[in-house]
């Protein structure tokens, strides 16, 4: 049975990818909620967490925004290794490391109930229009 995992107010999920979106860093909260271990995540695309309820349009918007140098903020439903799920309020942006290499960073905090309800409604409509 798929269940919603508890994302507490104290948690903050952080990950960093190369420009293609392959994970090169995931913090402890990322690991805990994803139900994968560090080794399983390294080098994987973030779509490893993709939940089938998420519309394509949300990720297109994420990538278009971040590639253009702007910061993206949105509500995302993620699926864990065991088929459970958790909602996040994600902020994604492009940055550079100390060697000048481009990297993409995402920081997620717990969304409010209202944010999740609005996203559920919007994503349902978007998914229907993508069929």
Strands (DSSP E) contained in the chain are 13-17, 23-26, 72-79, 85-96, 102-109
Residues 88-127 that bind ligand FMN (CB under 6 A): 92, 104, 106
d(CA 38, CA 24): 10
Pairing status of strand 23-26 against strand 72-79: unpaired
Which residue's entry shows tokens 């920081």? 107
Nearer to ligand FMN, 45 or 125 (CB): 45
Are 76 and 88 spatial neighbours (Cβ–Cβ below 8 Å)?
yes
Nearer to ligand FMN, 18 or 117 (CB): 18
Least spacing, CB of residue 78 vs ligand FMN, in Å: 5
Binding mask 4-23 for ligand FMN (x = CB under 6 A): -------------x---x--
d(CA 74, CA 70): 13
Nearer to ligand FMN, 41 or 92 (CB): 92
Of positions 49, 74, 80, 110, contacts ligand FMN by CB under 6 A: 49
Interface region with ligand FMN, contact rule CB under 6 A, candidates 4-12, 35-43, 44-52, 111-119: 44-52
User: How far, in whole angstroms, is CA 88 from its chain's centroid?
Assistant: 7
Which residues of the chain form contacts with ligand FMN (CB under 6 A)?
17, 21, 45-47, 49-50, 59, 62, 66, 76, 78, 92, 104, 106
């Amino acid at each position: 049975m798929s269940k919603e995992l508890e994302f507490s107010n104290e948690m903050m999920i952080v990950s960093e990818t190369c420009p293609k979106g392959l994970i090169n860093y995931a913090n402890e909260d990322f690991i805990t909620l994803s139900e994968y271990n560090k080794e399983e995540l390294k080098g994987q695309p973030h779509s490893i967490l993709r939940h089938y309820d998420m519309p394509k349009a949300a990720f297109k918007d994420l990538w278009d925004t971040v590639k253009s140098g702007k910061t993206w903020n949105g509500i995302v439903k993620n699926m864990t290794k065991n088929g459970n799920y958790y909602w996040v309020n994600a902020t994604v942006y492009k940055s550079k490391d100390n060697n000048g290499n481009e990297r993409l960073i995402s920081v997620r905090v717990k969304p409010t109930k209202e944010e999740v309800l609005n996203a559920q409604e919007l994503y349902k409509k978007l998914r229907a229009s993508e069929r």
